[in-house]
């Protein structure tokens, strides 16, 4: 396995200086602009990382690097999840039991001004304590690593002892905070990422049968060409709607608008995926749950067959979930297919509004060999209190989502490929 690196503790304990950790604590933000802070409601990513900080803090002062949401360009609707990390700081402090200082960004502050505040705080931070930087995506240079990345001189001046990359859920990206570390200090793979990589490796190299249900609100079909020869594919979410359309079905005007918005500028990719749909048996829903914006009452939720979506009575309705027949047919196919691994990648419906047919499907197929890939799926499972039932029934819940889909597809992880090729400062 190419991702095995030296033991973190035996190597770092002989060094002095702060240790930077890039991890993923991205959490769902409520209508009040806050993340959940009560026990039982805290996002699993945030909770898991918080407990590990106590172990990492034994090695020296920690500098914690994370993002929340995404910074949309001017003119585009702001992302409700793009908030600062003040609430994350409170949760991390409460769960980890260590003292964590938060260096908050002030609106209008330049990087030079912010980094000066950070340096001052780090220099007054003792071993066993940590400093949490504010949302890294505030800074435009975070989007893509470049040789003049401002993180490099900052952490060189701080005398960084080590950099720990524990951000596997982001590994399919080349964000600056994932890529800079090897240029500054000895670089290690964190515990959560290593554990999830081992699971991914075990599944990928198992000769048993595999099936993946690809859902979610983001395009994921780019990975499917590299997956279809390794496992069977069923679709839901926006990928399921697109697959149904490319298979020759009419989906209704509101759903056409949805696809046009989600897949804007992806005509070439859709053409290639359409060819794949013709050549391979890629499953798609046979029915959907429809409703209308502004009226999600139970009396305004309808189970509609795929063949009926183009009828006039459904012109003002949109797809919000897979349908009951799809739950039944997918479950029957999976449970009679003798699959050793049943992988769930992305919600099947808009779970935030109580559309839960995707959850019903999970309840039919969980147990040994069931794997839930993280991101929105983890949030969905927590919403319906299903994480522990999955794990207690010998299933697996991974924190990485899209990064695992691309990993199963054999697509490279930029920060890891770069580290393997060039090594890190020793």
| CATH class of the region 206-394 | alpha beta
Predicted pLDDT at 374: 84
Q: By C-alpha distance, which of 270, 260, 286, 167 is closest to 224?
A: 270
Give the lowest-confidence range in 9-18, 325-334, 382-391.
9-18
Q: What percent of the chain has pLDDT over 70?
A: 96
CA angle 25, 26, 27 (to 5 degrees): 105
Please count the CA atoms within 13 angstroms of the CA of 143 that sit on its side-chain side: 8
List b or e across 75-100, with b for residues whose CB sees 16 or more CB atoms inside 10 angstroms: eeeeeeebbebebbbebbbebbebeb
Rounded to whole angstroms, the Cα distance separating 354 from 60 reads 44
> At which residue do the structure tokens 């003292």 appear?
99
Residue 101: φ, ψ to 5°: -90, 140
Contacts of 78 (CB under 8 A, 6+ apart): 72
Can you give the pLDDT at residue 35?
87
**pLDDT tier, 160 (very low <50, low <70, confident <90, very high otherwise):** very high
For the segment 8-19, the average pLDDT, to the nearest whole number, is 74
Mean pLDDT of 80-107: 95
Q: Say which residue, 426 or 304, is predicted with more confidence.
A: 304
Chosen CATH of 8-194+412-422 out of 3.90.1010.10, 3.40.50.1260, 3.40.50.2300, 3.40.50.300: 3.40.50.1260
How many CA atoms lie within 13 Å of 83's alpha carbon, on the beta-carbon side?
A: 18
Average pLDDT, the chain: 92
Domain boundaries, the chain: 8-194+412-422, 206-394
Mean pLDDT is lowest, of 5-14, 115-124, 171-180, for 5-14
- Residue 425 binned pLDDT confidence (cut-offs 50, 70, 90): confident
pLDDT number for residue 39: 55
Taking only the tens place, the pLDDT of each residue in 126-152 is 999 999 999 999 999 999 999 999 999
Whether the domain at 8-194+412-422 and the domain at 206-394 fall into the same CATH topology: yes
pLDDT of 13: 63
Q: Is residue 7's pLDDT more than 90? A: no
**Which pLDDT belongs to residue 31?**
85
- pLDDT value at position 222? 76
When pLDDT is averaged across residues 311-331 and rounded to a whole number, the result is 98
201 within 8 A of 226, measured Cβ to Cβ: no
β-pair type (130-133, 287-291): unpaired
Q: How far is residue 23's CA from residue 164's CA, in Å, rounded to a whole number?
A: 9
CB contact set of 397 (below 8 Å; sequence gap of 6+): 44, 371, 372, 374, 378, 381, 387, 390, 391
Q: Which pLDDT score, from 0 to 100, does residue 145 have?
A: 97
Query: Residue 75 — pLDDT band, cuts 50, 70, 90?
Result: confident
d(CA 202, CA 194): 12
* 8: pLDDT strictly greater than 80: no
Residue 175: per-residue pLDDT:
97
pLDDT of 419 higher than 70: yes
What would the 3-class secondary structure string for the chain be?
A: CCCCCCCHHHHHCCCCCCEEEEECCCCCECCCCCECCCCCCCCHHHHHHHHHHHHHHHHCCEEEECCCCCCCCCCCCCCCCCCCCHHHHHHHHHHHCCCEEEECCCCCCCHHHHHHHHHHHHHCCCCCCEEEECCHHHCHHHHCCCCCCCHHHHHHHCCCCEEEEECHHHCCCCCHHHHCHHHCCCEEECHHHHHHHHHHHHHHCCCCCEEEEECCCCCCHHHHHHCCCCCEEEECHHHHHHHHHHCCCCCCHHHHHHHHHHCCCCHHHHHHHHHHHHHCCCECCCEEEEEECCECCHHHCEEEEHHHCCCHHHCCCEEEEECHHHHHHHHHHHHHCCCCEEEEECCCCCHHHCCCHHHHHHHHHCCCCEEEECCHHHHHHHHCCCHHHHHHCCCEECCCCHHHHHHHCCCCCHHHHHHHHHCCCC
- Is residue 4 pLDDT above 70, yes or no? no
Span 411-425, mean pLDDT? 89
pLDDT band (50, 70, 90) for residue 38: low
The per-residue pLDDT for range 356-404, each reduced to its tens digit, is 999 999 999 999 999 999 888 988 999 999 999 999 999 999 999 999 9
Question: For the segment 292-310, what is each residue's pLDDT rounded down to a tens digit?
Answer: 999 999 999 999 999 999 9
Q: What is the pLDDT of residue 41?
A: 66
Question: Which residue has tokens 């067959």?
Answer: 305
- What pLDDT shows up at residue 15? 63
- Residue with the larger pLDDT of the pair 205 and 7: 205
For residue 1, pLDDT beyond 60: no
pLDDT tens-digit readout, 214-232: 999 877 777 899 999 999 9
């Amino acid at each position: 396995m190419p991702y095995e690196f030296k033991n973190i503790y035996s190597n770092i304990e002989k060094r002095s200086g702060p240790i930077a950790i890039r991890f993923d604590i991205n959490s769902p933000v409520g209508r009040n602009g806050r993340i959940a802070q009560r026990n039982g409601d805290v996002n699993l990513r945030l909770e898991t990382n918080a407990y590990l900080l106590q172990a990492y803090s034994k090695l020296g002062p920690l500098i914690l690097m994370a993002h929340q949401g995404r910074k949309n360009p001017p003119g585009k609707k702001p992302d409700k999840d793009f908030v600062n990390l003040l609430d994350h700081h409170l949760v991390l402090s409460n769960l980890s039991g260590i003292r964590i200082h938060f260096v908050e960004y002030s609106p209008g502050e330049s990087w030079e001004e912010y980094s000066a505040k950070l340096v001052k705080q780090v220099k007054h931070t003792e071993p066993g304590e940590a400093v949490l930087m504010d949302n890294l995506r505030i800074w435009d240079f975070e989007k893509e690593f470049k040789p003049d990345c401002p993180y490099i001189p900052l952490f060189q001046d701080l005398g960084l002892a080590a950099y720990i990359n524990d951000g596997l859920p982001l590994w399919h990206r080349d964000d600056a905070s994932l890529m800079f570390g090897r240029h500054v200090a000895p670089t290690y793979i964190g515990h959560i990422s290593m554990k999830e990589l081992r699971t991914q490796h075990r599944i990928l190299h198992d000769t048993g049968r595999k099936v993946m249900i690809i859902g979610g609100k983001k395009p994921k079909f780019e990975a499917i060409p590299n997956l279809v020869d390794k496992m069977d594919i069923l679709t839901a979410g926006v990928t399921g709607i697109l697959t149904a359309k490319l298979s020759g079905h009419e989906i209704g005007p509101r759903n056409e608008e949805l696809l046009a918005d989600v897949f804007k500028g992806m005509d070439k990719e859709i053409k290639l995926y359409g060819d794949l749909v013709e050549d391979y048996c890629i499953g798609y829903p046979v029915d959907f749950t429809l409703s209308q914006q502004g009226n999600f009452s139970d009396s305004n939720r309808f189970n509609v067959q795929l063949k009926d979506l183009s009828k006039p009575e459904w012109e003002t309705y949109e797809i919000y979930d897979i349908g009951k027949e799809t739950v039944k047919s997918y479950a029957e196919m999976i449970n009679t297919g003798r699959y050793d691994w049943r992988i769930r990648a992305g919600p099947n419906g808009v779970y935030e509004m109580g559309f839960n047919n995707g959850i019903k499907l999970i309840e039919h197929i969980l147990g040994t060999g069931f794997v839930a890939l993280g991101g929105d799926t983890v949030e969905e499972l927590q919403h319906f209190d299903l994480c522990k039932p999955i794990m207690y029934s010998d299933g697996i819940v991974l924190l990485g989502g899209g990064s695992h889909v691309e990993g199963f597809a054999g697509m490279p992880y930029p920060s890891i490929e770069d580290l393997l090729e060039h090594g890190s400062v020793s």
